[in-house]
A and B are shown apart, each in its own frame.
Chain A
Amino acid sequence: MEIGVYWGCMILTSQYAYEMSLREVLPKFGISITDIDKASCCGAPIKNVNQKAAIYLAVRNLALAEKDGINELLVPCNGCYLSFSEALHYWKKDDTLKRELGSLLAEEGLEFNGNIKLWHTVNFLHDKIGTEKIKTAVKKPLNGFKFVTHPGCHILRPSTIVNVDDPEKPRKLDNLLKALGAESIDYPEKLDCCGGGLLLSHSESALTIAGLKLKAIKSLNVDGLVVSCPSCKIMLGAKQEAVGAIVGEKFEIPVLYYTQLLGLALEIEAEKLGLHLNQSPVDKIIEKLT
């Protein structure tokens, strides 16, 4: 089958490992990727200053996808996923908004019908491909590995708008880990935010919030932390040293995208999955696996 993918700014401009690993793993399940031409920012960062402008950006991207004949769209970034879900939600129930934004879209020769199904990496792998299919595809099971998951805020809440997983008891990322043969440990801080949303206005507090989560994870002695959002990965992975300096701890926790771990279990080379780009010590996982 074919699936459209809207990558979003973070993945396209810096979080290359997420893109690389998705481009590697999806074809293993017979899925080919269609990129969206001329896509822009999803609207999420604009929402803070003007919600209507944010919705315009979102529907513009969705209209571009529709124009390319895409009716199912994978949105791997949590922030973009919420932004698009919100835009769809309001587009469907607000006729004035539909008219106003519709005429702006028309200037670009675009039209949005609202007939697009959104997927995030987590529910696409869990519900569309399915854990059984993933289990069967695994060549190198991650037996003996223990991980914790961080689903991230914007694919869970508000559940009136997004429904990737249960908003208070998310299990899908954990089930996906189990399909690889690994164990997923539950922990009280699982739903805690990574702090990313505060980075622009209160960076020190943002890093402290990430630090409180990493402290909790450190005490669990797991093999790593599995994420599915580029912003969370930056906060909990790339910024680990800065976070440690703020909360007075040394962190050496491997943080990686689920798709990278899935790739390893499918025996795809680490470099093709962008594992050399992770700033956290993921070598520990690669070594333990070989």
Chain B
Amino acid sequence: MTVVDLMSEAKMNVELRSKAIEKGRYELYNCFQCMRCTSGCTSMKLLELKPHQIVTMVKLGLIDELITSGIIWTCAMCLKCTERCPQDAAPSDLITALRNLAFDMEANVPEAYLKVVSTVLEVGLIQEEQKVTSRDFEVYDREQLNLPKISKPDEIFKNNLLILLTPEED
């Protein structure tokens, strides 16, 4: 489904729009649709992401559609759109805000992103220490490479992280 299909049937949700805007840090209403964002977008060619359409849809309050469609997860976060926006509308920040909203509302967040969160909660890092294989198929760990042991964070940090990740009650 393309963004245009989504727009034709959607209804404005003002409440969610203010939530999305509150979560972001940008001058959304300054956007005058110059499309500099879309013309340089890494994901445009392969995944049809058009940041200027996302900005318009948020202005129109079509938030439910955006967070359930999966389109917000096609952004590669190269941040060219935000760099080049002449109006400080920062489309990539807006996409991040929409992703955050999708997480709060448990709406269609790709599994892999949730897995990263649980690993960070569990390990403190995005993954456990890995063994690596050289081009000659020798296997090495940190110790064999004379690298110091990893010092991991305490439990308190995990509790704090969990508190922050729990959606606030309205």
The residues of A with any CB-CB pair to B shorter than 8 Å are 9-10, 12-14, 16, 19-20, 23, 35, 37-41, 45-53, 56-57, 60, 90, 104, 107-108, 153-154, 156-159, 167-168, 191-193, 195-198, 200-202, 205-206, 208-209, 274, 276-279, 281, 283
Contact = CB atoms under 8 A, between A and B. Distances in A.
B42 A192 contact: yes
12 contacts: A12-B150, A14-B132, A40-B120, A40-B153, A46-B116, A50-B103, A50-B104, A50-B165, A56-B161, A107-B160, A158-B90, A159-B83
A35 B78 contact: no
B54 to A, nearest CB: 15
Given A9-B127, A107-B160, A277 B140 contact: yes
Interface stretch (B1-9, B11-19, B60-68, B106-114): B106-114
Given A49-B103, A51-B23, A53-B165, A10 B126 contact: yes
Given A35-B151, A277-B132, A154 B46 contact: no
B59 interface: no
Given A108-B154, A202-B47, A16 B110 contact: no
A13 B113 contact: no
B56 interface: no
Interface string B134-170: 1110101010011110111110110011011100000
Nearest to B79: A157
B69 interface: no
* In the A-B complex, the 4 residue pairs with the closest CB atoms: A193-B78, A200-B112, A53-B164, A49-B103
Contacts of B25: 90
B117 A46 contact: yes
B43 interface: yes
A275 B85 CA distance: 40
Contact of A13 (B42, B100, B126): B126
Nearest to B25: A90
Contacts, number: 170
A276 B112 CA distance: 30
Contacts of A56: 160-161, 164
Contacts of A192: 42
B129 interface: yes
Given A13-B128, A38-B154, A50-B103, A154 B145 contact: no
Contacts of A90: 25
Contacts of B112: 200-201
Nearest to B131: A14
Contacts of B79: 153-154, 157-158
B74 A197 contact: no
Contacts of B125: 9, 12-13, 40-41
Contacts of B78: 153, 157, 193, 197
Given A40-B120, A107-B156, A16 B126 contact: no
